[in-house]
Structure 1
Amino acid sequence: MIKKYNENLFTGISMWRKRIALALILFSPCSLALGAEEVPINNECVILLHGLARTSRSMVSMEESLLSSGYRVINLDYPSRKFKIEKLADAAVSAALSECQEYSPRKVHFVTHSLGGILVRQYLSKRQIANLGRVVMLSPPNGGSEVVDKMKAVPGFFWLNGPAGQQLGTSAASIPRRLGRVGFELGVIAGNRSVNLILSLMITGEDDGKVSIENAKVEGMVDFLVLPHSHPFIMRATEVIRQTKYFLQHGAFQR
């Protein structure tokens, strides 16, 4: 199901209230402190793609913040547990783009969590988006996950994660490894905190409980940032959201 959201922050408010609300946003201490990234964007659309076995609800904090900054937002629900990555990418990204293009946006950006990033890579490996802007991936298994290597044959894993979950290992045959270098403007944010120490024992090096820092990287990305958050919650963290918006505007994370 595609969810359409009203991009007009001030719908239903009288003209004088609109002016007061706009002044509060533009001149609040928060906006002044964060600087240019809080200025409303001129007709740019952001597609949000949640992770495996999650829903669009997991991306609501990101959605609300992007809307408040003036972006048009498509927060997409897609059946991540029902199909393989190839089919999910074709159907989900195509549907989201169709919704987005109704606004004739100047740019189309993507913000993804986990599997959502692999769907964007899969889609762009076969097709082009003429007005593609920037992409931010949060905790993406760009090099796969050792958790899949060790757990995919365990009873219940397929039921919980579906066919796409089986494709996210670290072998050369896995979808993330086969996709290779990215050819678009990409920033990656990885986490280095875990709320699942058992899964972390299966992963080499620092990790977020599902994906190692090293396997979040991909050749061709333009910036990479590690923040102290775990895989299930990284997309809701205030600093992650702020850095995401900064990258969408500037093509780099703020140091």
Structure 2
Amino acid sequence: MDGVILLHGLGRSPASLWGAQAYLEMRGFATLNLPYPSRRAPVDELAARLAPRVRVFAESLDGDVHFLTHSMGGLVAWALIARERPRNLGKAVMLAPPLGGSEIADFIAEKPFLKRLFGPAILDLTCSAQRGPIDFPLGVIAGEKTLNPLLSLLFFRGPNDGKVAVERTRLPGLADHLSLRVSHPLIPWDGEALRQAVAFFRNGAFSRATA
């Protein structure tokens, strides 16, 4: 059986991925929906804390271990894979990841009060943060619907999900990329996003066919 590790975003909890977890389990995947203190440490430290639980779960499977992440959880997964790549690593699907950073994170990082509120990891979400190479099969699903058009006009020039610009979800090395008309907080609950994630886990590419 293949398994999927789920990682939530900044300021969220595993509850934000309960729908995705149930969807995956109904389709035959074992799951591990990990909690982590997203506002208390930088991404690399968060990855180090999670590594032992990821290792135990990966080694318990007789198939591949995949990752499904939301927002900053994608950066945590990336750091985990760089730190201690599972021998049975399969594929990763990141929902609305700030791979190239977020202009909103830039704004928060410049305001001391907001920076303290969001925690050290906010610096890892800025547009100037350094990224390593993508050396694993990675598919990204971006959102291009905002719940706050005025705020998006202030921070973004092109399509965005209210938190991350679509163009900043792209980096060289992606196996596939897809944009959907869904907002940042709702993308983990979107049925089409989840259908596409399963397609990527199974085939290494998103499905362009109608559901």
- TM-score when normalising by structure 1: 0.77
Matched, 1:69 2:27: yes
Question: Residue 227 of structure 1 is aligned with which of 174, 180, 189?
Answer: 180
How far apart in 2 are the matches of 1:251 and 1:145?
27
How far apart in 2 are the matches of 1:220 and 1:75?
26
Map 1:172-251 → 2, pairs under 5 A: 174=129, 178-200=130-152, 201-251=154-204
Largest Rg, 1 or 2: 1
For the 8 Å contact 1:44–1:109, the answer to whether it is kept is yes
CA RMSD of aligned residues (A): 1.5
Matched, 1:91 2:43: no
For the 8 Å contact 1:109–1:248, the answer to whether it is kept is yes
Partner of 1:44: 2
Matched, 1:110 2:94: no
Partner of 1:149: 106
Higher relative contact order, chain-length normalized (CA < 8 Å, sep 6+): 2
4+ residue stretches of structure 1 with deviation over 3 A? none
CA displacement 1:89-123 (0-9 Å, x = unmatched): 1112432332342x233200000001111012222
Which deviates more from structure 2 when the two are superposed, residues 201-210 or residues 235-244? 201-210
CA displacement 1:134-165 (0-9 Å, x = unmatched): 10000000000111112223354224321101
CA displacement 1:183-226 (0-9 Å, x = unmatched): 10111000000113344121231111111111001211110000
* 1:153 partner letter: E
Map 1:10-49 → 2, pairs under 5 A: 43-49=1-7
How far apart in 2 are the matches of 1:146 and 1:93?
29
Partner of 2:96: 139
Partner of 1:17: none
Percent identity, please.
39
Which deviates more from structure 2 when the two are superposed, residues 147-156 or residues 233-242? 147-156
Partner of 1:9: none
* 2:160 partner letter: D
Structure 2 residue runs without a partner (length 5+): none
* 1:254 partner letter: S
Question: Residue 115 of structure 2 is aligned with which of 158, 161, 165?
Answer: 158
Question: How far did 1:71 drift?
Answer: 0.6
* 1:218 partner letter: L
Matched, 1:127 2:84: yes
Alpha carbons of structure 1 residues 206 and 131: separation in structure 2 relative to 1, 3 Å: same
SS in 2 for 1:133: strand
Question: How far did 1:86 drift?
Answer: 0.9
SS in 2 for 1:150: helix
Question: Residue 124 of structure 2 is aligned with which of 135, 152, 167?
Answer: 167
Alpha carbons of structure 1 residues 243 and 237: separation in structure 2 relative to 1, 3 Å: same
Question: How far did 1:82 drift?
Answer: 0.7
Matched, 1:54 2:12: yes
CA displacement 1:29-83 (0-9 Å, x = unmatched): xxxxxxxxxxxxxx11100000010000000110001001111000111110111
| Alignment length (residue pairs) | 207
